[in-house]
Amino acid sequence: MPFITRVVRPTARVVSVRGLANSAVRQKHTLPELKYGYAELEPFISGRIMELHYTKHHQTYVNSLNEAEEKYAAAVHANDVQAQINLQPLLKFHGGGHINHTLFWENLAPKSAGGGEPPSGELSKAIEKNWGDLANFKKTFNGYLAGIQGSGWSWLVKNKELGELEIISLPNQDPVVGKYVPIMGIDAWEHAYYLQYENRKAEYFGAVWDVINWKTAVERYSKA
Amino acid sequence: MQFSSLLFVQLPAFLSNLTNPSGPTPIVASSPSIVTSSASTMAAEAPKVAVAPLEKYMLPPLPYKYHELEPYISEQIMKLHHDKHHRAYVDKLNAAMEAHVKALAVSDVKAQIELQQAIKFNGGGHINHALFWPSLCPPGLLASEPNSAPLLIEALTAQFGSFDAFKERFKVLLLALQGSGWGWLVKTQRNVLELRTTKDQDPVTDDVSVILGIDMWEHAYYLQYWNDKASYVDGIWNIINWELLEARYDGTAAPTAL
């Protein structure tokens, strides 16, 4: 499955970038396919949360990203640098929202499909090397989640410079970029748990491990 | 409420040196590092002075019942928001302040700096919610009518073109928040009304008067409105305490109790 699903949408007007003779055909972002039913992560994440999270929140990031990209293309076409810079926060927020949720759905799985089964192979060894065992890793990770002041995500990442696994937290919808490769992420926005867990977010952080798809994480690590 | 015992701080060593002619006189302005190292070596000998007993912050009671903002904000949201979320900010602020006083008492600057973010986040959470609750009131009360704030409405109309234009501008700003945060209507020292947002629990700390703050954290509306935050914003205008906003605007409101 590609990292971000795209459909080719031929645009009426070919966008030409100054100095480039070739034209680029812009593509529209779409919601990626969810590989399980909304209710299949229950009782750890309710079907209602999954439905709203996927069909409303993620969809809004996708729509707003497409809008922002359209405006950005127009700004590029008009050679308007100021407008491009002005659009950057929107691209970052909605683009980040799309990237993060796409990664998140893939690194979740129903229990019947292996959700919660511990990682194997090199990833398992690397986790043990850094945190002793999986239980201590989860405890440390949950400390990062609990420490987020506002909306945000915590990630297990590979630091490409050091070749090491790390846990990081990022605010709002800032995606994992730069020297980090995302291996597994957990959404700590209130919309990810509030309908079921209300203010008891520690309970959500405890339960979500039962539907973590470590197979996806192992695969990402092998390519990182 | 007071702590049972008084807390003590060490008199900074460079101050005690001033009374000790035989000791070295640090050059405070040009060499702060000397002061720091001198402070730590002299700490044990420095006399203790009592500081004011630490007051604990309290969860302010709501000026209405949990269900009284319905149908615009549900009873369940109000209960959780006030009794769980706001209480957690108060408790964590008190813990951070207590730890800060201890760090101050032993001149541990590093520990004090480490506590800054906890004080900002939880202190901000306490301040923001304490401003928020009294700015709301049950729908149908006289106070909930905008004409309870004639001076403020006049100023908003003059500045934004119309009352509706003000609400629309505020709404656009609130919906554009990326993540958790608050939207604010403030009055500057030059009597200009200004709309702004702060992220997470960052409070308004500059020299302006807060007229109204609207909580845009998802916990403020999600149980009732889900992802439809626009409807939450539209609904909240029915439960604004314009009487209090007018008093905040003309400067006659009592300071918000923390």
Closest listed residue to residue B246, CA positions, set B174, B157, B152:
B152
| A199 chain-B contacts, CB cut-off 8 A | 80, 84-85, 88, 219
For B142-250, which CATH superfamily applies? Answer: Iron/manganese superoxide dismutase, C-terminal domain (3.55.40.20)
In A33-64, which positions are buried (b, 16+ CB within 10 angstroms) versus exposed (e)? ebebebebbbebbbeebbebbbeebbbebbbb
**What is the Cα–Cα distance from B150 to B133, expressed in whole angstroms?**
22
**Is the predicted pLDDT of residue B80 greater than 50, yes or no?**
yes
Query: Taking a C-beta distance cutoff of 8 angstroms, is the pair A160, A180 a contact?
Result: yes
- The answer to whether A181 and A220 have CB atoms below 8 angstroms apart is yes
Third-level CATH fold of B66-135: Helix Hairpins (1.10.287)
Tell me the C-alpha distance between A43 and A45, whole Å: 6
pLDDT exceeds 60 at position B27: no
What ipTM did this prediction achieve? 0.87
Rg for chain B (alpha carbons), in Å? Answer: 23
- Determine the average pLDDT of the residues in B36-55: 51
Question: If residue A181 lies in a helix (H) or strand (E), which one and from where to where?
Answer: strand A180-187
Which one-letter DSSP state was computed for residue B149? -
Give mean pLDDT, residues B18-26: 34
Q: B88-107 burial string, b = 16+ CB within 10 Å, else e?
A: ebbebbbebbebbbebbeeb
Verify whether the Cβ–Cβ distance A151 to B219 is below 8 Å: no
Q: In the structure, what pLDDT confidence band is assigned to residue B89 with cuts at 50, 70 and 90?
A: very high
Place of tokens 């889900």: B226
- pLDDT greater at residue B64 or residue B8: B64
Give the best residue of A149, A173, A191, A193 to mutate against chain B (max B CB count within 10 A).
A149
- To probe the interface with B, which of A56, A199, A204 has the most B CB atoms within 10 Å? A199
Q: Is B202 on the interface with A (CB under 8 A)?
A: no
Task: Please identify which residue in the block is written with the tokens 């845009």.
Answer: B216
For the cut 90, the answer to whether the pLDDT of residue B47 exceeds it is: no
- pLDDT, residue B51, reads 57
Nearest to B222 among A93, A172, A191 (CB): A191
Sequence-distant (6+) residues with CB within 8 A of A88 are: none
* Cα–Cα separations (whole angstroms), residue B160 to A22, A86, A105, A114: 47, 24, 44, 57
State the smallest CA–CA distance between residue B181 and chain A in angstroms: 8
- Least confidently predicted of A55-59, A130-134, B5-9, B95-99: B5-9
Q: Sign of torsion, CA A92 A95 A97 A103?
A: negative
Contact B227 A56 (CB under 8 A): yes
Rounded average pLDDT over B81-103: 97
**Residue B236: closest CA among B213, B202, B256, B255:** B213
What would the two tokens of residue B142 be? 């006289």
Phi, psi of B49 (to 5 degrees): -125, 145
Would you call B226 and A199 a contact, using CB atoms and an 8 Å cutoff?
A: no
pLDDT tops 60 at residue B36: no
Token digits of residue B80: 């959780």
CATH topology of domain A6-30+46-106: Helix Hairpins (1.10.287)
- Measured from the Cβ of residue B162, the count of other Cβ atoms closer than 10 Å reads 11
**Structure-token pair, residue B226:** 């889900």
B6 has pLDDT over 60: no
Instruction: State yes or no: pLDDT of B187 exceeds 50.
Output: yes
**Cβ contacts (< 8 Å) between B222 and chain A: which residues?**
190-191, 194-195
Q: What's the pLDDT score for residue B257?
A: 85
A63: its two tokens = 């729509």
The predicted structure's pLDDT at residue B19: 33
Of A73-87, A169-183, B17-31, B183-197, give the lowest mean pLDDT range. B17-31
Q: Summarize pLDDT for B221-239 with one digit per residue, the tens.
A: 999 999 999 999 999 999 9
Question: Do B187 and B208 form a contact (C-beta atoms < 8 A)?
Answer: yes
Report CA dihedral (A171, A175, A179, A182) to the nearest 10 degrees: 110
- The residue written with tokens 């700590």 in the block is A188
CA distance B122 to chain A (A): 9
Query: Domain segments of chain B: what residues?
Result: 8-50, 66-135, 142-250
* Contact at CB, B219 and A199, closer than 8 angstroms: yes
- The CATH number corresponding to A112-223 among 3.10.129.10, 3.30.450.20, 1.10.760.10, 3.55.40.20 equals 3.55.40.20
**Rounded to an integer, what distance in angstroms lies between the CA atom of residue A184 and that of residue A124?**
13
Please list, in sequence order, all residues whose beta carbon lies within 8 angstroms of the beta carbon of residue A142, skipping any fewer than 6 positions away: A202, A205, A206
- Is the pLDDT assigned to residue B16 strictly greater than 90? no
Bridge-based pairing state of the strands A6-8 and A27-29: antiparallel
Domain residue spans in chain A? 6-30+46-106, 112-223
Q: Which of B9, B45, B41, B47 lies closest to B26, judged by CA?
A: B41
**Inter-chain contact A191–B84, Cβ cutoff 8 Å?**
no
Q: Helix A59-77 and helix A81-106: axis angle, to 10°?
A: 150
B54 with B97: CB under 8 angstroms? yes
Angle between helices A121-131 and A214-223 (to 10 degrees): 90
Nearest CB to A199 within list B80, B199, B200? B80
Residues of chain A under the 70 pLDDT cut: 1-25
CB B244 within 8 A of CB B217: no
pLDDT at position A26 is 72
Residue B119 contacts A where some CB pair is shorter than 8 Å = no
